[in-house]
Chains A and B, each alone.
Chain A
Amino acid sequence: MNRVAAVARAVVFDAIRRRIVWVVVLFSLVLAAVIPMLPSYGVGVVGAVYREIALAMTYVAAMVVTLVLSVARIPVEVERRTLYSVLARDVRRWEYVLGTWLGITLTLAAVTAVFGGIIFAVGWAVYSTPMWTLWQGVLSIWMEAGIIAALCVAISTITLPVVVAVAALAFLFIAHVRADLLGGPENPLWYAYPSLDAFNIIAPVSHGVGVSLLYLATMTLVFVAWAGALLLLGALGFSRRDL
C-alpha cells in the first residue's frame, strides 16, 4: 500500500494547488454568506431553507471540483508521458488507478470539509443554532463525489477527457431519476438500476432530524461497493492498455 499512498500523496499535492479548486471554494463562501439574505422566508422554516440551499450549493460545487480534478487526470498524464517514469517502476497499474482515485477523493474530502465548515459557521452565526445535521449532508455529498471520481478515473483510463465528462454528467442524471423512470420497488428493474439515490439525504437533513447511524453505515457500504466496482473496471481496462 506504500505505492498507492505515494501516488495518492502526489495527486493531493498537485490537486490542492490548482487555482480552480480554491476559486470554487471562494465562490461558495460568498454564496453561503448571501443565502440568509434571500427574501420570502416563512417564519419557522428559515433554517430548513438555508440548509437545503446550502447543501444544494455544496453538491454543485463538489461535483464541479470532482469533474475538474478527475476527468483529465489520467489522459493528461498519458499524453504528457508523466506516468511513464511512474509505471516503469515497481508499480502495478491497479495501484496507480487506486492511488489516483484516493488522492482525488482525499482532496475532495478537504474541499467538502471546507464547504461544510463554511455553511455550518454561517448557519450558526445567522440562526444562532449549530446545525449538526449539515455534516451528514456533507458526508453524503463527499461519498457521491467519490463515486463520480471513480467513474471518471475508470473511464479515463481508456478514453478522452471530453468523453469522460459527458459520461459522468449522463451518469449523474441517470442515477437520480430512478423513481421518475421506474416508479417504485415493485418494478423488476428497480434494484438493477444504477442509482445514487442513497446519497440524496438533503430532504431529511434540511427538513427533519437527519438520518440514522444505520443509514449512514449502509450509505458507506454502497459507496465502497460503487467505488470498488468502478475502480476494478478501470484497473482492468488500464492493465490492457498500451502506453
Chain B
Amino acid sequence: MSKQTSRAGDRIFSTTALMAGVLILVVLFSVAVFLLIQALPAFFADPSEITGGEGFWSYIWPIIVGTVIAAAIALILATPVALGVALFISHYAPRRLSQGLGYVIDLLAAIPSVIYGVWGITFLAVQLEPMYEWLAEYAGWIPIFAGPASATGKTMLTAGIVLAVMILPIITSISREIFLQTPKLHEEAALALGATRWEMIRMTVIPFGRPGVISAVMLGLGRALGETMAVALVLSTGPLILSLIQTGNSTIAAEIALNYPEAYGLRLAELIAAGLLLFIITLAVNMVARWVITRNKDFSGANA
C-alpha cells in the first residue's frame, strides 16, 4: 500500500464522515424549520378558535405537564431497577448467567411499543385496578393517590409503569457497558485496601460510571418523553389532575397520535405546534444532560 492511496482513502473517509455529520445537522434544522412554519398559525390564532377556547398556551400547558409527569414516573421507577440489574450483570452474576440475562434485557428493547400498549391495556391495567382501589382507600390522603380510582385502571400511573418497562433496557445496557469499563486496577486497589465488594463498587465503579449512567438515563428520558403509541393506548386521557390513579392527564405525543388522523386546518397547526414544543423540550433535556456530564467528568476518575 503506497502513501498516495492511503491519503486518498483518508480524504474520502473524512469527507464521508463530514457529510454524515453535516447531514444530521441539516435534517435536524429542517425539521425545526418545518415545525415552526407549520405551527405558526396556532401561535397567532384568535384564542377562542383554539381547542379549549382559551388560547394556545392554556391548551398546551396541561399536556406539557402531563408529558413531564409520565416521563418522571418512568424514570423514578426504571432507574434504580436498571442500575441494579446493570451492577448485577457486571459485578455480581456468574459469567454464564450474566450473558443470558443481558441478552434477555436487550430483547425488551426490541419489542414494538404497540405491543407494550396492548399489554398495558389488556393485562397490566386490569391487574393494577384492585391495587388502585386499595391505594385510594388507604393512601388517598396523599394527593397523587386521591380517589375515586379509575375503574378501568387506564391511568397515568399505569402509563408510567409501561414506560418504565420500555426504557429499562436502554438504561440497563448502557450502564452495564460503562460499569464493565471500570479500570481493573482501581477495583483491585480498592479490594487490596480491604474494601468489601459493595465498598469497592461504591468507591470505584459508581464514580467512574456516573457520567455514562447520566447519559443512559437521559436517553431513557428521551424515549419516555417521545413515546406515543403505548401511552395513546394505555392512558385514558383527560384534563390535568394531580391524582395518578384517576382518569386524566395526557402527553404531547399521545395528543398528537390521537388527533392527527382527523385534524386539518388550525387543529393541525395546533398539533404541530405541540410537536415543536416536544422537540424543544427534548433538546433542552439533552443539553442539560450534556452539561451535567461535562461538569461531573472532572471528579469521576475517568480521566485518571
A associates with B? no
